[in-house]
Each structure stands twice: as C-alpha cells, then as structure tokens.
C-alpha cells in the first residue's frame, strides 16, 4: 500500500505543505497513543477549567491541544495557530507561509466512555496584510483552504484528508507508525437514507426543521426506509457518511448560545465541508454553501447540514419553502 508522502507528491502538493502536514500527523500519532492508553495514563476526566466556549475542558482536550501547539510552534512554515481550546490566535513565525486551525479533540463527551473522538485540522496560506496574532488571519473563506482533514481515534486510527483534490482515506499502520493509503478516492453515495441528528434537541428547533423531521419520521413515504445513527462526535458521524452516505444535521435552536447551532465554522464545519464536497457531497448552512460563508469571528458557530446531495437538497428545499427560516 502506498504511503502518505508519495501520494501527496503525486498530487503535486508543494514540499513545505507536505512537511507541515507531516508535523500535524506526528502530533496525531502521539494523541492516538495517549487515547489508546485511556485510564492507564490517567488522561481521562475533566480539568477544573473552562474553554472559550464555556465548556469544561477534558484533560485529553488540554493535552492534545498542547501537543499540537508545541509541534506546530517548532515548524518554521507556521505563522499563526487557532484552536477550539485557545481564546486568541497564537502567533508563531511572523513571515511563515501557512496558518493552521484545529479542534484538538472533537467529541469530548465521548472521551470518558471510550467512544470515537478525533482531531480536525485545516491549513490556509498566511495573509501578509494582517499581523500574525490577528484573528483576521483566519477571516478567510472555506474555499481558500489548502488542506483539510481529520484523524479519527477509533478501533483503528484513520485519516481522511484532501489537499484540494479527491478526499482520500489512510489508516495508521502500527507496525511502522506511518499512514497508508487505504481508500484512494472517497465517493459519497447518493442513495443513502441514513440521517444523523441529536433528536433530543427537537423541541428547541425552528418550526420548519421540526416539520421536516415530522415528515421524515412519521408521514412521508419517501422516508419509509430511513434510519438514524448519532455518534456524539461529529468526526465519527462524518466518517460514516463519507464511507456509507447519509446526512448530518446540527441545526440552530432556541437555547441560549445555540442561535447559530453548536458547530464552529473555522475548525469544524469548513474542514469537514471540504472533505464532503471533494467526495461529491454538499454542506450548507441556512441553504447556503458553508465554504462560501464569510467568517465573522474566530469561534463563530454555524447551523450545519452536510452529506449526500439528495438528502441535503431535500432538507434545504423543505425548510426554505415551509418556514422562511
Ligand atoms: P466538541 O468539539 O467540544 O466535542 O463539540 C462538538 C461536538 O461534540 C460534535 O462533535 C458533536 O456532533 C456535537 O458536539 C454533539 O453535541 P450534542 O451533545 O449537543 O449532540
């Protein structure tokens, strides 16, 4: 099986970007090891601190964040870092070519129950018109991403990544510690009837969204074969959707702080949207392409629906014709 670096070279990826990707993946191998040690290495449980999102930080969140920050800070090609666990942009090398944003551990609620969790990352070219510590560095459209990916820490450690070409799947080979190309080109199935949503939030959803799910669950013949899966970690749900098709929803809702949903645009929605689009799928917020949404703040949230075109289109058509959301 082909290794990661020769695949990236074949894809015409520039050398310094390949080296930066290698830095990120080196951190994920260390995280994968710590995750696999679980209780043995005392990394489970919470700290007493809260992050900028108002969430109690898990020990593994903090550890994974520090590992990525340390390794990226030693990489000469990195100008700025943004993370779900960092309130502000971390400036690194003021004239370096790239900026990196990441969610060090997506699916925090799964950490203590040995569930699937993952690291989501995205790389952009640095802007020369703003300072390295400015949030404006990251005020770039998702379409400007030069690389997007995630590593899923599950039964195997699995990498999905695009550098602007096809979405490709790699598996970490523990015998020599390298990622091997296991799915050369991911193509999203267009005829899945599987959806992923936290239905427990139904009461807080807007009327149009409730009406859509009433159709799906109770009345529409089109959905009689529908099924549901929800992992609690978006990275796990999106991995299943990339492999089997389906659609993921995290709508906005009436709860305080959820007016724009829960998923963060910069280091969750945009990188996952790029992987979905490069696999032939769609990713929208309020019926608009997520990767074309102008960012307004570092940790902004967006309502998301992403996956198989047919299911995304049906949701957007149903919502926007029924309730003018
Ligand atoms: P974290 O990055 O803090 O884990 O938050 C994101 C997330 O865990 C997603 O991975 C997941 O889809 C969602 O939140 C679960 O939220 P809820 O518990 O409200 O369904």
H-helix or E-strand containing 147?
strand 147-153
Decide whether any atom of ligand 1 lies within 6 Å of the 108 Cβ: yes
**Ligand 1 center to 113 CA (angstroms):** 14
User: What is the rounded CA–CA span in Å between residue 302 and residue 231?
Assistant: 19
**Ligand 1 center to 107 CA (angstroms):** 5
pLDDT at 311: 94
Q: What is the 3-state secondary structure (H, E, C) of 176-238?
A: CCEEEEEECCCCCCCCCCEEECCHHHHHHCCHHHHHHHHHHHHHCHHHCCCEECCCCCHHHHH
CA nearest to 281, candidates 228, 240, 321:
240
* pLDDT 10s digits, 210-265: 999 999 998 888 888 899 999 999 999 999 999 999 999 999 999 999 999 999 99
Tell me how many degrees the CA angle 1-119-115 measures, rounded to the nearest 5: 95
Residue 240, SS3 per DSSP: helix
Question: Which of these ranges, 38-42, 243-247, 297-301, has the smallest mean pLDDT?
Answer: 38-42
pLDDT at 43: 85
Decide whether any atom of ligand 1 lies within 6 Å of the 262 Cβ: yes
Pick the residue whose CA is nearest to atom 3 on ligand 1: 108
* Best mutation site among 232, 237, 238 for ligand 1 pocket (most ligand atoms within 8 Å of CB): 232
Whole-Å CA distances, 39 to 34, 35, 106: 10, 9, 19
pLDDT at 325: 42
Q: Is the pTM of this model over 0.95?
A: yes
Handedness of CA 17, 104, 144, 315 (dihedral sign): positive
CB 166 within 8 A of CB 186: yes
* Mean of all residue pLDDT scores within the chain: 95
Decide whether any atom of ligand 1 lies within 6 Å of the 107 Cβ: yes
CB 98 within 8 A of CB 20: yes
For the cut 50, the answer to whether the pLDDT of residue 324 exceeds it is no
* pLDDT 10s digits, 118-142: 999 999 999 999 999 999 999 999 9
Pick the residue whose CA is nearest to atom 19 on ligand 1: 198
pLDDT at 322: 53
Whole-Å CA distances, 63 to 27, 66, 105, 179, 288: 11, 5, 10, 22, 35
């Amino acid at each position: 099986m082909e290794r990661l670096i020769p695949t990236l070279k074949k894809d015409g990826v520039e050398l310094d970007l390949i080296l930066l990707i290698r830095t990120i993946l080196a951190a994920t191998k260390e995280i994968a090891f710590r995750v696999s040690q679980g209780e043995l290495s005392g990394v489970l449980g919470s700290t007493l601190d809260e992050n900028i999102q108002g969430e109690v930080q898990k020990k593994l969140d903090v550890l994974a964040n520090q590992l990525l920050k340390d390794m990226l800070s030693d990489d000469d090609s990195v100008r700025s870092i943004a993370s779900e666990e960092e309130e502000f942009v971390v400036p690194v090398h003021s004239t370096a070519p790239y900026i990196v944003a990441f969610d060090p551990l997506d699916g925090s609620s799964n950490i203590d129950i040995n569930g699937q969790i993952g690291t989501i990352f995205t790389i952009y070219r640095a802007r020369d018109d703003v300072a390295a510590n400015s949030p404006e560095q990251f005020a770039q459209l998702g379409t400007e991403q030069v690389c997007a990916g995630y590593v899923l820490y599950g039964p195997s450690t699995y990498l999905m990544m695009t550098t602007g070409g096809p979405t490709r799947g790699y598996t970490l080979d523990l015998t020599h510690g390298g990622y091997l190309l296991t799915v050369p080109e991911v193509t999203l199935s267009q005829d899945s009837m599987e959806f992923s949503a936290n239905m427990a939030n139904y009461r807080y959803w807007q009327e149009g969204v409730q009406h859509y799910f009433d159709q799906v669950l109770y009345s529409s013949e089109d959905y009689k074969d529908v099924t549901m899966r929800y992992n609690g970690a978006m990275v796990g749900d999106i991995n299943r959707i990339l492999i089997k098709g389906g659609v993921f929803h995290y709508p906005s809702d009436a709860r305080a702080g959820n007016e724009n949903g829960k998923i963060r645009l910069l280091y969750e929605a945009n990188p996952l949207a790029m992987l979905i689009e490069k696999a032939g799928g769609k990713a929208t917020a309020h019926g608009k392409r997520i990767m074309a949404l102008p960012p307004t703040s570092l940790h902004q949230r967006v309502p998301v629906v992403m996956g198989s075109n047919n299911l995304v289109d049906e949701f957007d058509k149903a919502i926007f014709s029924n309730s003018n959301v």
